[in-house]
């Protein structure tokens, strides 16, 4: 059958060769246990500590909105959600620009905060369209090629609309004038 040396299970010379691997298995078990403990501890930390981070973020966001609300209350009125009223067909104007005419088409939207202001805008829309058309027709085409020129046009339109609203309702009503479409063609 087999030699006695091949079947030696008693722990003679073969023990020296197996000792490092037995120690390696022990180290492996310790390393796995340490990784599991650290992983479990890290997971517990993030689960427990994550709520504090979320709370801190929501507190800072709530704090900012609370500050905004306080400043609005200090002004005497709380901000309501924005309501947008559009000029129905946009405004098409001819601009003088040297030898050729430039066509300007602008889609104008106005932001208000109350349904009453939105209703007043709709009621007085023909007057608003007329005054904006006259204002846009007097614009310089060269200036409108720049961002500053467009912004100046928008600010001027805001003043015109607020003036009309002030005359008709006693309040400026419109917070912003926005250009949702702006096309110039020569």
| Segment 28-49 mean pLDDT | 71
Rounded Cα distance, 24 and 128, in Å: 86
User: What superfamily does domain 83-185 belong to in CATH?
Assistant: Band 7 domain (3.30.479.30)
Rounded Cα distance, 45 and 36, in Å: 14
Q: Give the percent of the chain with pLDDT over 90.
A: 44
Enumerate residues 6+ apart whose C-beta is below 8 A from 79.
68, 69, 72, 113
Q: Give the percent of the chain with pLDDT over 70.
A: 67
Kindly report, residue by residue over 140-150, the tens digit of the pLDDT: 888 889 999 99
In the prediction, which pLDDT does 38 show? 73
| Segment 88-100 mean pLDDT | 85
Helices and strands, counts by H and E, the chain? 4, 4
Rounded Cα distance, 167 and 98, in Å: 36
Asked if 148 and 111 count as a contact pair (C-beta separation under 8 A), the reply is no
Give 3's pLDDT tier (boundaries 50, 70, 90): low
Rounded Cα distance, 42 and 37, in Å: 8
What pTM was computed for the model?
0.57
What are the boundaries of each domain within the chain? Answer: 13-78, 83-185
Query: Residue 20: is its pLDDT beyond 60?
Result: no
Kindly report, residue by residue over 157-171, the tens digit of the pLDDT: 999 999 999 999 999
Give 25's pLDDT tier (boundaries 50, 70, 90): confident
Choose the weakest-confidence range: 55-69, 102-116, 122-136. Answer: 55-69
Rounded Cα distance, 27 and 143, in Å: 77
């Amino acid at each position: 059958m087999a030699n006695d040396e091949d079947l030696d299970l008693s722990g003679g010379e073969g023990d020296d060769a197996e000792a490092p691997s037995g120690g390696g298995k022990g180290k492996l078990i310790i390393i796995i246990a340490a990784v599991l403990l650290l992983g479990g501890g890290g997971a517990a930390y993030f689960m427990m500590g994550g709520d504090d981070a979320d709370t801190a973020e929501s507190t800072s966001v709530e704090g900012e909105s609370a500050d905004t609300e306080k400043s609005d209350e200090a002004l005497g009125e709380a901000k309501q959600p924005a309501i947008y009223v559009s000029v129905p067909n946009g405004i098409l104007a001819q601009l003088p620009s040297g030898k050729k005419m430039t066509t300007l088409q602008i889609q104008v939207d106005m932001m208000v905060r109350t349904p009453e202001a939105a209703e007043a805008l709709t009621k007085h829309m023909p007057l608003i369209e007329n005054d904006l058309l006259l204002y846009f027709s007097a614009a310089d085409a060269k200036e409108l090629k720049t961002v500053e020129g467009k912004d100046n046009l928008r600010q001027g339109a805001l003043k015109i609309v607020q003036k009309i609203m002030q005359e008709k309702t006693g309040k400026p009503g419109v917070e912003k004038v926005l250009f949702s479409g702006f096309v110039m063609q020569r």
